[in-house]
Structure 1
Amino acid sequence: MSKPLSKFTSFASIVAATLALAGAAQAAGPVTVGVLIPGSKSDKGWMESGYDGLAAAQKQYGDKIKVQMIENINYADMEQALVNLASKNSLVIGVGGQTQAAVMKVAKRFPKTHFSIVGGSKGDEVANVAGYDVKQAEIAFVAGASAAMLSKSGVVSYVGGMEIPSIVNAGKEFGKGAAYINPKIKYVENYTGDFDNVAKSKEATLAAIAQGADVHYHILNLGLRGMEQAAKEKGTHIIGSYTDRCGSDPLYPAYSITGVGYEVQYAIDQAVSGSWKPGYKPFGLAMGPKASDMVICKGTAEQKARIEAIKKDIQSGKIKVLEG
């Protein structure tokens, strides 16, 4: 009788173990995700792209994830907002390079929490922090080339928010991209010191228009509203950033895709699958069109071919661009 008993005991043990594992999985509950969006989730730019990625992840995973989001936080309150998120969530995502300094500081206080920075750059590494580099300078070069193809006046402009390395490098590459197409093009570059200041962005854009600019590019959040106001008043155009919205507004003849939302989804995908890893990870053109791309909405076959050739040359290293 010992053999049957042994078999029965073995089977019972397997059933018990299976039930225990199922119970543990159920007890573990959903993956908790905290998201800090420093600006407005409806800014038509970086922040909105990040929010769109979060919304897509919520739709994909349903009750497998539980999300807490904090929006519109100024720099002085950023650290406290991250502490709030880190104390309640297993993954915290900072949407924007401006969150990096605060994330690095807070992450050391919460070693069991994973942190992902969308727009993170190379720097000091912390064991529980991942930095996803959108490589804005890459696509800014392509945007500059596109602006030169679209410009009728031979003058293009760029307005950046904070004058930090990644934003400045993107501006430089935009100018280089424009000159790559038209060596005689005039390039006007301005910084407002604030991603959200509408009045300063409008003033900077009007100043560029006064110098002849008819196509504008930007790295702004709510400040984009000021650029839109200036462009509408003066009959000029904007190359949009972050998301392809072709056909939604005649003010925008082209869009550069910078996969902010894609990287938010990536961080959540990694957390849900249990494959999240710390460290610096570059995205950009090498990660495909969801991560980085350029679209001229009514582009000719020649324009599209030139864009594709430039993208390939950047990836091969034939065209060298700055970090950022």
Structure 2
Amino acid sequence: MKKILAVALAGVLSCSLLLGCGKSANEVAQSKAENTEAETEVKEEKESEKADAAEKKGIRVCIVYTGNLGDKSYNDSCNAGAKKAVEDFGIELKSLEGTTAQEWEANLVAACEEGYDLIIGASSNIADYITEHAPNYPDVKFAVIDTTVDLDNVESISFAQNQGSFLAGAAAAMFTQKTDIPNVNDANVIGWVGGMDIPVLHDFYIGYEQGAKYINPDIKILQAFAGSWTDPLKGKELTLAQYEQGADIVMNVASGTGTGILEAAKEADKYAIGVDLNQDADQPGHILTSMVKRVDNACYLVIQSVVDGSFKGGSTQYLSLAEGGVSLTDFAEIKKALGEKFPQDIVDKCDELAKKIISGEIVVENYEGFGPKA
């Protein structure tokens, strides 16, 4: 019986190997040919994908900064988006930092001469230089963040910082009324310190003022400009002066200068509002919230557009509250610091105001030249 089973199994195996278990020799040959063809197609597809990846890796991007990295604010946010693009797309990245107008223009021209595929002007301070030099390099793609340059080889990305600042101003106006919180006085005074006196910062301030006066029409708002993105000592000096004038909370809109603003809040045992990145933990217990501006997303998206071929020169993107371009942080750090004294009504009111802005019930004013383009 065992011998009979062995013979039968051998027959089955022979049938399967020789003729595909009942298939003709031609059918077996055709099947093998089809398999070989499919394997070839898969191999060619993989080789094509490798070639595409290699080509994308060859994309060279240069970012020209007005200031230095390490500001824990605007520039670091932009750099975070660029680093993510390096990880996701394998692009080659160079960062050029500078603190004077001469350096900014020289860095931009150097990047143009070096033949980068994409040159990003990381702030509105670069706009005039892009306007002047980009026409001389029609094959180079340019992007400018925080303003608009109307040229065929420039893609512009700007933000509704006025909307985010409206919420920050409303939060500050409510907070300064909370006299049960340590070191909040009974004067309805809030502050605002900016870096350079440029149009985009006026768009910030208009929103901050409107939001504060939406809560309290009689509130006093102190305003100052440091004249620099890289002078923390000046930022600290201006902020301490505003605390002396009765403010118990000051908004930072000053990039690298802003680290001094936040330090002043701790030194004076007062409060501040951060900007661009989530700065709530920079001086724990002294930062109410931060007005986050997604510069990282703007940088990443424009690099992605070059990688995937969707870059559109002469176009402008406007990232508002509705698109998540700006927002307040979640107040988590100050909640931990204040415990039961934390005023939850501020969070609830800011959420309500954000919905009204998105729906159009509240229209936040813009500084001249800012806002969505028709």
Looking at structure 2, the residues matched to 239 and 28 of structure 1 have their Cα atoms a distance apart, in angstroms, of 40
**2:341 paired with 1:313:** no
Q: Please tell me the residue identity of whatever aligns with 2:141.
A: H
Contact in 1 for aligned 2:98/2:104 (Cα 8 Å): no
Q: Which residue of 1 aligns with 2:76?
A: 48
Q: Please tell me the residue identity of whatever aligns with 2:102.
A: A
Structure 2 counterpart of 1:141, from 142, 146, 166 = 166
Q: Which residue of 2 aligns with 1:108?
A: 135
Q: Which residue of 2 aligns with 1:167?
A: 201
Structure 1 counterpart of 2:312, from 258, 263, 277 = 277
Distance 1:202 1:29, change over 3 A: closer
**2:294 paired with 1:268:** no
Offset at residue 248 of structure 1 (A): 4.9
Over residues 235-258 of structure 1, what are the superposed CA-to-partner deviations in whole Å (9 max), with x where a residue is unaligned? Answer: 111111112244453132211110
Contact in 2 for aligned 1:240/1:252 (Cα 8 Å): yes
What TM-score do you get using the length of structure 2 for normalisation? 0.75
**2:292 paired with 1:252:** no
- Specify every segment of 5 or more residues in structure 2 that has no aligned partner in the other structure, as ranges: 1-36, 177-183, 336-341
Contact in 1 for aligned 2:57/2:92 (Cα 8 Å): no
CA RMSD of superposed structures (Å): 2.5
Distance 1:227 1:24, change over 3 A: closer
Q: Which residue of 1 aligns with 2:272?
A: 238
Q: Which residue of 2 aligns with 1:39?
A: 67
Pairs within 5 Å for 1:68-147: 68-86=94-112, 87-121=114-148, 125-147=150-172
Contact in 1 for aligned 2:280/2:288 (Cα 8 Å): yes
Looking at structure 2, the residues matched to 133 and 163 of structure 1 have their Cα atoms a distance apart, in angstroms, of 18
What TM-score do you get using the length of structure 1 for normalisation? 0.85
Q: Please tell me the residue identity of whatever aligns with 1:274.
A: G
Distance 1:45 1:22, change over 3 A: closer
Contact in 2 for aligned 1:137/1:166 (Cα 8 Å): no
Looking at structure 2, the residues matched to 319 and 23 of structure 1 have their Cα atoms a distance apart, in angstroms, of 51
Contact in 2 for aligned 1:90/1:113 (Cα 8 Å): yes
Looking at structure 1, the residues matched to 60 and 306 of structure 2 have their Cα atoms a distance apart, in angstroms, of 9
Distance 1:254 1:316, change over 3 A: same
Looking at structure 2, the residues matched to 41 and 247 of structure 1 have their Cα atoms a distance apart, in angstroms, of 19
Structure 2 counterpart of 1:196, from 202, 217, 230 = 230
Structure 1 counterpart of 2:217, from 174, 180, 183 = 183
Contact in 1 for aligned 2:169/2:208 (Cα 8 Å): yes
- Specify every segment of 5 or more residues in structure 1 that has no aligned partner in the other structure, as ranges: 1-10
Offset at residue 27 of structure 1 (A): 5.7
How many residue pairs end up in the alignment? 305
Q: Which residue of 1 aligns with 2:366?
A: 322
Q: Which residue of 1 aligns with 2:23?
A: none
Looking at structure 2, the residues matched to 229 and 29 of structure 1 have their Cα atoms a distance apart, in angstroms, of 41
Mark the structure with the bigger radius of gyration: 2
Contact in 1 for aligned 2:263/2:283 (Cα 8 Å): no
